[in-house]
Amino acid sequence: MSRTLALAESLISRASVTPEDKGCQTLIIERLVALGFNCTILAESGVTNLWALKRGAHGQAGKLLAFAGHTDVVPAGPMEHWSTNPFVPMRRDGRLYGRGAADMKSSLAAFIVAVEEFVSAHSEHSGSIGFLITSDEEGPARYGTIKIVEWLEARGDRLDYCVVGEPTSGERFGDTLKNGRRGSLSGVLTVRGIQGHVAYPHLAKNPVHLLAPALTDLVRVTWDQGNEYFPPTTWQVSKLHAGTSVTNMIPGSVNVGFNFRFSTATLPDELKTRTHAILDTHGLEYELTWHLSGMPFLTPRGELSSALEQAIEAETGICPTLSTTGGTSDGRFITRICRQVIEFGPCNASIHKVDEYIELSHLEPLKNVYRGVLERLIA
């Protein structure tokens, strides 16, 4: 058994459902302390965060490459739907099964073993190595990576490069790097009408009927054209509720939840203004609250993308594609203290699903890619 596989299985066996860590970071700290890392735990509101740092031969003058990830996983759901216990790692048919196998405990294991091998081969490495680990990525993300970033920011510390171990590969291992993510802006809209009996609609005002034309307009809007790196901004309804359990009552209000996934081509305030303008055009009586959970970020081609591309091609023969698709990630926080943030990890076909897995044949190449980045940037 490889050390990467052994560590991945040890992490998967800890049922660290968000925001629990369940000792994952203790295990990681034991490995890092043995390499000479200084480790700091930042715990808040039930979340466990770790910042670990090992200075290189050039001290603060050297480049700092950090690996970022999360020990928390999404809930397993009904246990009976799994082929085996999701928190008992199982090797079967060339795959390693378990909750977090792909998202993202295998990446954490690969990070650690890659650094162990690198430090063993380069005891006087020029650059520094950091680890930024949280147990609050799959949840609200209010007390996780953002808190480590704020702490580092207050100290005046910055990163030169950051590799986030999110599962980015699609059809083939190594085919995709995420060099940015779209922003996420959510809204909760309440449109008020007048409740009444369905047989006497002239005595009521149906808010669903009033809202329908506005929804049609919002669906048809072209918010922007996107740009070189991002697809056009999208608007999607995520929740719609009105009425009670009876069918003979016109509701007094309707509630709609919606979300923008937006690019760097449009600012969130522009999206808000245009949304309000459409609602106002239809003369609706409404309330609208907003929540901005993340701004879009982008890392243009540079030293980090080049190092990852070279390491992936050397290991797999594949030249990866740069992409900004998918949901948000903690990269949106890390960009505050690091100009070059790129995500790379295993295939994402099974993440958040029953019987989540990683191909066993991908574990060592994943570790080798991470080591290859260290070799190219801070040896």
Helix (H) or strand (E) holding 48: strand 47-54
Nearest-angstrom CA–CA distance, 369 and 344: 9
**What's the structural domain count of the chain?**
2
Q: What is the pLDDT of residue 160?
A: 98
70 and 216 both lie in a single domain:
no
Same domain, 175 and 319: yes
Q: Which domain-ending residue is among 233, 265, 294? A: 294
**Secondary structure in 3-state letters for 231-297:** CCCEEEEEEEEECCCCCCEECCEEEEEEEEEECCCCCHHHHHHHHHHHHHHCCCCEEEEEEEEECCE
Instruction: Specify whether the CB–CB gap between 67 and 132 falls below 8 A.
Output: yes
Residues 235 and 277 in one domain: yes
Whether residues 35 and 125 share a domain: the answer is: yes
One domain, residues 320 and 176: yes
pTM of the model: 0.90
Domain boundary among 236, 260, 294: 294
pLDDT at residue 197, as a whole number: 97
Supply the CATH number for residue 343's domain. Answer: 3.40.630.10
Instruction: Provide the pLDDT for residue 143.
Output: 97
Judge if 193 and 77 occupy the same domain: no
Joined tokens for residue 229: 């790196």
In one-letter notation, the amino acid at residue 187 is G
Q: Are residues 283 and 304 in the same domain?
A: no
On whether both 42 and 175 belong to a single domain, the answer is: yes
Cα–Cα nearest to 66, from 58, 57, 74, 55: 55
Q: Residue 228's domain spans which residues?
A: 183-294
| Claim to verify: residue 210 and residue 72 sit in the same structural domain | no
Give yes or no for a contact between 353 and 95, defined as CB atoms under 8 angstroms apart.
Answer: no
157 catalytic, yes or no?
Answer: no
Determine whether the annotation assigns residue 166 to a binding site: yes
Task: Give pLDDT, residue 328.
Answer: 87
pLDDT < 50 stretches in the chain: none
Catalytic residue among 72, 309, 343, 359: 72
Last residue of a domain, one of 243, 267, 294: 294
Same domain, 59 and 100: yes
Catalytic residue among 9, 21, 136, 137: 137
**Looking at residue 326, what is its pLDDT?**
86
Residues contacting 378, CB < 8 A, separation 6+: 56, 62, 63, 65, 125, 126, 127, 128, 129
Note whether 219 and 311 are same-domain residues: no
Residue 137 falls in the annotated catalytic set: yes
**Residue 138 is labelled as binding a ligand:** yes
pLDDT at position 228 is 87
239: domain CATH number is 3.30.70.360
What pLDDT sits at residue 352? 97
User: Do residues 251 and 243 touch, judged by C-beta distance below 8 A?
Assistant: yes
Do 21 and 61 lie in one domain? The reply is yes
The reply to whether 103 sits in an annotated binding site is yes
pLDDT at 36: 97
